[in-house]
Amino acid sequence: MIPERIKAFLLPIGALVALELWARAVHLQSDSLAPPSAIAAALVEAFKDGSILVATRDTLTSAFAGLLVGGAVGLAFGIALGIFHIFDRLMEVTIEAIRPIPSIALLPIALIALGFGYRMEILIVAFACVWPILILSRAAVSAIEPRLIEVSRALRLSPPDRVRKIIIPAALPRIFLAFRLAAGIALIVAVTVEIAINPIGLGAAIMTAQQALRPDLMLAYLLWIGLVGYLLNTGLVIAQRHLFGRAALVGDAA
Amino acid sequence: MNRSALYWRAASFIVAAGFVGLWQVVANLRLVSPVFLPGPDRAWASLVRGFTSGDLLSKLLGTLEHMAYGWFAASVAGIALGAMIGSSRMLRSYVAPSLEFLRPLPVSAIIPVAIAMLGLTQSMAIFVIAFGAIWPMLLATIHGFAAVEPRLYEVARSLHMSRLAVIFKIALPSASPDILSGMRLSLTVALILAVVCEILAGLDGLGHWVLLSARSFRSADLFAGVILLGIIGYLTALAMSVVEKRLLKWRSSGH
């Protein structure tokens, strides 16, 4: 009986070995595939000359800046809509009209308004991040135990104090879950914007590698982008468990 | 209750109309240069003109076509593969961890690889859309199959049902809520990837249209395209939720 942990690695390792053997057997000359050994060499080389680190920094900077901006807007609106149901009902049509616009459709607007660079990418990432955070934090705030709100009334807390001392702590596990989901979206949107048009970061680097007919470097970047996405997600899941313990599980079920 | 909901809805529409009015005022007062921000009147006029005398309809159909092909291919492949992996405990323990590793991968990163393999063609776009749209359905199907009430499998065994019969009569219906929500998620992914591929490969579609409008500073056309993309997003999601409600009716009725 093979232990589960080892089973998990058998498929990727098997695939890599098969690809390597096949590439050597047919003396692979291709614009789209490269033997794993060449991919590994290209990855090491990109680390040595620092290009991959610069690209990673650019992508993560845009992604996180966009997450912060979009998250702040989404959180503010989400809490406001969760507290004031009148506001929520009045804004319903407006929100439902703007939300389905695919974030990437804003790309040309951001392009003519802001030009290439960080700012347009941050704007698009922010737009994409507003919605999950708005919707999940609105749900989190409306799901707060009504007695807590009653307590805050009985204590005559001022509205800012009520938000700070009761609402945010009570809704925090689910708000963090929303931020975790939005962080994944932020990375995806950032890379997508770079691939589509913006000449910075990992997305632009992988496009350049493709256009330079360097499949080894291109696949190395693909692997690295996958790894960054995986590490970001895993890190946030661990942080969530660590910070909120059992409360984190409640959020995941929702 | 129903009546007050209707009033609220009407009030909500009025608020939205107010925002459009505000947009018009901002555009009329030229607080933002009209090069970047056309008023809603100009965007609307451009939308109407694009449909009556322009080629906006063919662009719209182009985008819908890319989305539909990619999404259908992904649905069929995702559900079939998911059923295969999900119904076998052995396959699941070998394959699922690799899939979990691939899940957070920004799917657009596959675009350069697809371009290297297929060139700047329509098949590239459809491949990318299908690749991106398959994940939510694949993972949802595997999860749905794994979460089937074990007693149902026991019943199937005592009835001597074949593996195919088990899949079609027990596992698929029981996993259908997961699968349908996966399909709805993939629709959004398909729309985004369709736009990106059209921008990159210059394929006939709204993505290409909005980019060209931006390049030549025709902001009214640009906004018309973006509005249309929003409408596609809204209508496809709406259609999917209607289908979802229809197909899942049996769950709420019955016992």
> Total structural domains in chain B?
2
Task: State the residue range of the domain holding A52.
Answer: 41-253
Instruction: State the amino acid at position B13 in one-letter form.
Output: F
Q: What is the CATH classification number for the domain harbouring A101? A: 1.10.3720.10
Question: Mutating which of B196, B217, B238 best tests the A interface, going by the most A Cβ atoms within 10 A?
Answer: B196
Residues B91 and B146 in one domain: yes
Does B15 contact A195 at a Cβ distance shorter than 8 Å?
no
> ipTM score here?
0.85
Residues B113 and B203 in one domain: yes
- A-B interface: how many C-beta pairs under 8 angstroms? 163
What are the CA-CA distances from residue B122 to residues A11, A163, B132, B209 (Å)?
31, 51, 15, 16
- Establish if A14 belongs to a structural domain: no
Residues B204 and B148 in one domain: yes
- Measure A68 CA to nearest chain B CA, in Å: 19
Q: How confident is the model over B162-206, as pLDDT tens digits?
A: 878 888 888 888 888 888 988 988 998 999 999 999 998 888 889
Residues B21 and B51 in one domain: no
pLDDT classification of B75: cutoffs 50, 70, 90: very high
- Establish if A178 belongs to a structural domain: yes
Residues B133 and B201 in one domain: yes
Residues B74 and B150 in one domain: yes
Q: Quote the CA–CA distance of B206 and A118 in Å, as a whole number.
A: 25
Question: How many C-beta atoms lie closer than 10 Å to residue B150's C-beta?
Answer: 8
Does B109 contact A225 at a Cβ distance shorter than 8 Å?
yes
Residues B92 and B165 in one domain: yes
Query: Looking at chain B, which residue has its C-alpha nearest residue A7?
Result: B94
Task: State the residue range of the domain holding B113.
Answer: 39-252
Q: What is the CATH classification number for the domain harbouring B104? A: 1.10.3720.10
- Establish if A29 belongs to a structural domain: no
- The two tokens of residue A230 are 């995986």
Q: How confident is the model over A147-190, as pLDDT tens digits?
A: 888 888 888 888 888 888 888 888 888 888 899 889 999 999 99
Say how far residue A45 (Cα) sits from the centre of its chain.
27
Residues B25 and B57 in one domain: no
Residue entry with tokens 């804003």:
A106
The reported pTM is: 0.87
Instruction: State the amino acid at position B6 in one-letter form.
Output: L
- Measure A240 CA to nearest chain B CA, in Å: 17
b/e per residue B199-224 (b: at least 16 CB within 10 A): bbbebbbbbbbbbbbbeeebbbbbbb
- Establish if A158 belongs to a structural domain: yes
Query: Looking at chain A, which residue has its C-alpha nearest residue B216?
Result: A112
Say how far residue A233 (Cα) sits from the centre of its chain.
8
A89 touches chain B (CB under 8 A): yes
> Total structural domains in chain A?
1
Does B105 contact A92 at a Cβ distance shorter than 8 Å?
no
